[in-house]
Amino acid sequence: MNQRIVTVFGATGFIGREFLRCLDREKRDFSVVRILSRKNKDISFLEDLNLNIEYIQGSITSQKDVETAIKGASHVVNLVGILYPTRNSSFDSIHHESVKNIARICNSGSVQQFVHISALGSSLDSSSEYARTKALGEKAALSLFPQSTVLKPSIVYGPEDDFFNRFYRMAKISPVLPLVGGGQTQFQPVYVSDVAQAILVCLDEKQSVVGGKVYELGGPHVKTFRQLLRLMLRYSDPPLKRLLVPMPFWLAKTQSIVFELAHQLFGVAPMLTMDQVELLKTDNIVTAGSLNLLDLGITPKKLSKDTLSYLKS
């Protein structure tokens, strides 16, 4: 019987950590869980997992490192993504070129299944470079390794997320919270464990069932940006009261220029970027008629006080 080896790119990220915990909980029969990670990434959480982990230090932008990570693997998962470019990583290099490289190597090796995590709202016609490069990555995965499975989540939330936690931290020090574009953009937040479970289902399922398919992952409810911030304030422990102030897109873009400049000069993570302002001009919800979590046998968790219990002082 051939060994089941899964290679995970982006294992140290928010979704990646939850996926490895899910693998550990569900006790799947992967003989080796191989991860590729840069030198400066925190991998201490791996010590708590009862998995046979093979750690490779390297970069997803290096063809040699990716070839080493995939060699002999039967399954591959790509979770790598960035919210803003840095000196060493552009949207295109991470979301497009690296995916193209992974898919090409998968196609020339022993890989049976490749699960690629993209993003809801990806589009070749988008005014956002983030969304355009995500779409290019999906196209590369499906053309170079046709049996790829693409998962496209809306905002992913849960402990350690970069959405609710960010605004919660802001709310603890500021009496007001900004509503970019008036806060009317719609989202369909999906809980991180549901996304991790979806990946696992795709790895377990036959290639003939999930191969070549695209699944849009969202929670059970659509909420506006304003409604999400209100829920965050209500479900915080203790509950918070803050003024929600509409901010027109032009003003948000002006502020984002300052944030991006601070990032370039001092390395401070930007609170908002010009590209993210562009993203907020388009709703981020599951397309009617698309394959979704229910098609994978997963009932999405509701956005509730229980699922937001990590928002506490």
Domains of the chain (ranges plus CATH)? 5-156+189-218+285-296 (3.40.50.720)
Closest CA to 114 of 64, 76, 169, 145: 76
Q: Which stretches of the chain drop beneath a pLDDT of 70? A: 1
283, 126 contact by CB (below 8 A): no
What whole-number distance in Å separates Cα of residue 130 and Cα of residue 122?
Answer: 8
What whole-number distance in Å separates Cα of residue 74 and Cα of residue 3?
Answer: 8
Q: What is the pLDDT of residue 39?
A: 79
What whole-number distance in Å separates Cα of residue 224 and Cα of residue 283?
Answer: 9
Q: What is the pLDDT of residue 209?
A: 95
Cis peptide before 238 (omega within 30 of 0): yes
Q: How many CA atoms lie within 13 A of 78 on its CB side?
A: 37
Instruction: Enter the pTM of the model.
Output: 0.96
pLDDT digits (tens, 9 = 90+) for 237-260: 999 999 999 999 999 999 999 999
Question: Which tokens go with 266?
Answer: 């001092």
Which residues does residue 156 pair with via DSSP β-bridges, in sequence order? 190
